[in-house]
Amino acid sequence: MKLKQRVVLLAILLVIFIFTKVFLIDNLDTSAANREDQRAFHRMMASLRVELDPRLDHTMQSPWEIAAQWVVPREVYPEETPELGAVMHAMLTKKIIKADVGYKGTQLKALLILEGGQKVVFKPKRYARDYVVEGEPYAGYDRHNAEVAAFHLDRILGFRRAPLVVGRFVNLRTEIKPVATEQLLGTFMTVGNSTCFYGKCYYCRETEPACADGDVMEGSVTLWLPDVWPLQKHRHPWGRTYREGKLARWEYDESYCDAVKKTSPYDSGPRLLDIIDTAIFDYLIGNADRHHYESFQDDEGASMLILLDNAKSFGNPALDERSILAPLYQCCIIRVSTWNRLNYLKNGVLKSALKTALSHDPISPVLSDSHLDALDQRLLSILATVKQCTDQFGSDVVLVEDRMTLSHL
């Protein structure tokens, strides 16, 4: 073989070798990431049932100290939480030492201080489980059971960005009124044989109190995030106007995502992908009311989008408000880890997983079967939306690898 031919042949072999090596390494990396996603999914499935057990045999710390140490910029709680049951048991059983009106907002809530100084937010029961909230997707009172269900869905999706929530029954006469502030106490009333209160908030009215069954009120308690992690409020870029006849820009501008990508903190870092994750989460639970969101302060866009205030969810199982998915279908990007998790949850797995997770809550059954069925149907819509994106732009563009090392020091 002539020297020139040998050189050409060697060059071709070298190109083939380099291409094969790069291709194999890339696929090995992808396969390794997918395998880790699958292992994480199996770990989650194995820990679905949270036993509300007060024992903390391996530590002298209080449940409140443990929960506070879990919080880091990208997680409210870690993947492996053997103490989760003990923390939630404390939220369920610790004595209420103070009760006050809730923090600023539009909906009725109470701020409780539990023994040991831990703040929790109490949201009262307003509707029966099978009640269907008609009208706009953000209509109606807050649903306390929605907070419980949303927390466990956050666990199942692997986001770990929602504060801990558990259902709790409280006796308004013996547990709340004796320790209530004058401001809260002034909103108590009796309707028939039931103790009621209407609190202080933008939409709170004396004519629309929340009433107990006699003296005992069902509700949810949400664990207050540690004060060392102050929150910063942001206007959601896909927020609604809440004005009849007035559309937000994203509702008529199909290129809106391009404009969002040019503004901080969506032009770099994880925030835009967090918005996509949140849109998926909100679509599954039917929450069309996330007009603002919170992150940790001074985060320069690195903090997670915290999944707070999920009570405007699970209102109407027959209503699939597709506009909630606008960040997904307008930006056409999604985390690979989120995409993998969604695929693991299809074929009825999501409904089964959430039903199992909720079965141990004190206010179980938390959701009606119609709401659980709706989750599986909405999941199919999300998967179809992503497929439309990949068909149009390709998987390399749509599926974004964005994994972060999360340390709990």
Binding residues for ATP: 107, 123, 222-225, 294, 309
In terms of DSSP bridges, do strands 231-235 and 188-191 run parallel, antiparallel, or are they unpaired?
unpaired
CA dihedral sign, ordered 50, 55, 56, 58:
negative
Distance (Å, rounded) from C-alpha 402 to C-alpha 33? 11
Neighbouring-strand partners of residue 297:
none
Determine the longest span between alpha carbons in the chain, in angstroms. 104
> What is the four-CA torsion angle of 219, 224, 225, 227, rounded to 10 degrees?
170
Q: Which residues are annotated as a binding site for Mn(2+)?
A: 142, 309
Check residue 176 and report its DSSP letter.
Answer: I
Check residue 317 and report its DSSP letter.
Answer: T
Residue 289 a catalytic site member: yes
Which positions ≥6 away from 103 have C-beta within 8 Å?
Answer: 109, 111, 121
Number of residues that this document lists for the chain = 409
236 backbone φψ class: left, alpha, beta (φ>0; ψ -120 to 50)? beta
Cis, peptide link before residue 226, omega less than 30° from 0: no
Which positions ≥6 away from 200 have C-beta within 8 Å?
Answer: 101, 102, 183, 184, 187
Please pick, among 274, 282, 289, 376, the residue that the annotation labels catalytic. Answer: 289
Tokens 């809530």, residue located: 109
Question: Quick one: tokens of 182?
Answer: 């004058």
Which positions ≥6 away from 276 have C-beta within 8 Å?
Answer: 327, 328, 331, 333, 334, 335, 338
Nearest to 67 by CA among 170, 166, 176: 166
Q: In this structure, are residues 220 and 167 in contact, taking their beta carbons and an 8 Å threshold?
A: yes
Q: Any idea which residues carry the catalytic annotation? A: 289
